[in-house]
Amino acid sequence: MLKRYLLIQTLILATGVFMPAQSSTTLKDAYHGAFYIGVAINADQITGQDARGAKIVAEQFDSITPENALKWERVHPQPNTYDFSLSDQYVALGEKHHMFIVGHTLVWHSQTPDWVFQDTQGKPIRREALLTRLHDHIFTVVGRYKGRIQSWDVANEALNDDGTMRDSKWKQIIGDDYLIKAYQWTHEADPSAELNYNDYSLELPAKRQGAVELVKKLQAAGIKVAVVGVQGHDNLDWPSTASEDETIDVFAKLGVKVAITELDIDVLPAVESHTADISLHIKSDLRLNPYPKELPDAVQKDLARRYADLFGIFLKHRDVMSRVTLWGVTDADSWRNDWPVKGRTSYPLLWDRAGNPKLAYDAVIKASRQ
Ligand code: XIL
């Protein structure tokens, strides 16, 4: 009897048929205790239309950001017209999975309709009128999700690359204090929500210095900035791990946490480095789109190594890192297929177009065990 049992066991082990699944983990489990692992989700993932993507989101991540669903043009497309149909589902999804839910974003120069800055004749409105609109928007949107959205990217991309304030319509019409108002009102609308400042290319010393001064100015006005969000629309060779390391240190000294809020790593030829200006539109050609069918193994490995190196830096700073969020689930979902060059085949994320985890996924999991 025992002999027969042993024989069966040997067979099972040899064929592997009844072997337990190989010790598998998920991103959120691998980084549990260090920082949240988040992902930006699109409309199809929010509604579940993209079942494959939604499954990956639920299994692998413990934080979500809406890729577009909470931007002004989506929730507040017309004066006095709010549309929360998608953002309500977004927040419900995060609650269902007990995720850390991020709101993105309240004051930005992009994806904000023209009417916001104009009167009915199309002429620019004045400071008081724009402040009233901003106040209404913030209290309506933040108030609706009070106690449910834990963290708000209050302002997005308010700085130029040289560290000066971006000359947006917000600044032109209201003046520099539009930011102070936005942060104060967000806090009033939901005192429990974290207040973030989010921007790209913060690894550039001048821009980083501008962000430091901005955070100090907000702090001096009595605002508790909780997190500086470093977007992280990176390339294989920019930013260097040394400058990422330094950037996190510089912000941590301000007494805030740091989050990587929009991580993706492009392997395609860079046309405009060090920016995430979404108004850039460059026409594609063969030279700019070298891998229209698949990514060569060597580049796949470069990408994996690059992800591991960056996660190594994030882990080194785990005491001040609150979250690392990827800007999309699969390569097919990524905005980088169309930015800064339209119509390229880009490979910046951790899952491929078929929904399979890439070498970079394994590298990120492995990096957690350092
Ligand atoms: C991008 C989205 O991914 C695209 O779908 C949209 O068309 C444009 O905006 N910085 C940000 C994000 O803060 O909101 C942007 O998201 C990418 C750059």
Q: How far is residue 146 from each of residues 99, 143, 152, 192, 351, measured CA to CA in Å?
A: 15, 5, 11, 8, 33
Check whether 5 has a pLDDT greater than 50: no
Among 39, 65, 68, 75, the mutation site with the greatest number of ligand 1 atoms within 8 A of its Cβ is 68
Structure confidence at residue 283 (pLDDT):
67
For residue 156, give the amino acid letter: N
Bridge-based pairing of strands 257-266 and 227-230 is parallel
Q: How far is residue 226 from each of residues 190, 255, 301, 320, 347, measured CA to CA in Å?
A: 14, 8, 36, 11, 32
What is the share, in percent, of the chain residues with pLDDT greater than 70?
91
- Please indicate whether residue 272 is annotated as part of the active site: no
278 lines ligand 1 (CB under 6 A): yes
Among 102, 159, 278, the mutation site with the greatest number of ligand 1 atoms within 8 A of its Cβ is 278
Per residue in 33-49, pLDDT (tens digit) is 999 999 999 999 999 99
From the centroid of its chain, how far is CA 197? 12
Structure confidence at residue 286 (pLDDT):
80
Residue with tokens 């899952």: 351
68 lines ligand 1 (CB under 6 A): yes
Check whether 102 has a pLDDT greater than 70: yes
First to last CA, the chain: 46
Ligand 1: centre distance to CA 306 (Å): 22
For residue 8, give the amino acid letter: I
Check whether 22 has a pLDDT greater than 90: no
- Residue among 157, 194, 203, 244 flagged as catalytic: 157
Per residue in 111-168, pLDDT (tens digit) is 999 999 999 999 999 999 999 999 999 999 999 999 999 999 999 999 999 999 999 9
Q: What distance in Å separates the CA atoms of residue 320 and residue 325, rounded to the nearest whole number?
A: 15
276 lines ligand 1 (CB under 6 A): yes
Ligand 1: centre distance to CA 40 (Å): 10
Ligand 1: centre distance to CA 277 (Å): 9
- Please indicate whether residue 246 is annotated as part of the active site: no
Nearest to 227 by CA among 236, 218, 235: 218
334 lines ligand 1 (CB under 6 A): no
Ligand 1: centre distance to CA 38 (Å): 16
Ligand 1: centre distance to CA 68 (Å): 7
Check whether 19 has a pLDDT greater than 60: no
**Which residue has the least CA distance to atom 5 on ligand 1?**
335
3-state SS class at 143: helix
> Residue 287: pLDDT band by 50, 70, 90 thresholds?
confident
Per residue in 231-261, pLDDT (tens digit) is 999 999 999 999 999 999 999 999 999 999 9
67 lines ligand 1 (CB under 6 A): yes
Residue 310: count of CB within 10 angstroms of its CB: 22
Check whether 6 has a pLDDT greater than 90: no
335 lines ligand 1 (CB under 6 A): yes
Q: What distance in Å separates the CA atoms of residue 228 and residue 115, rounded to the nearest whole number?
A: 30
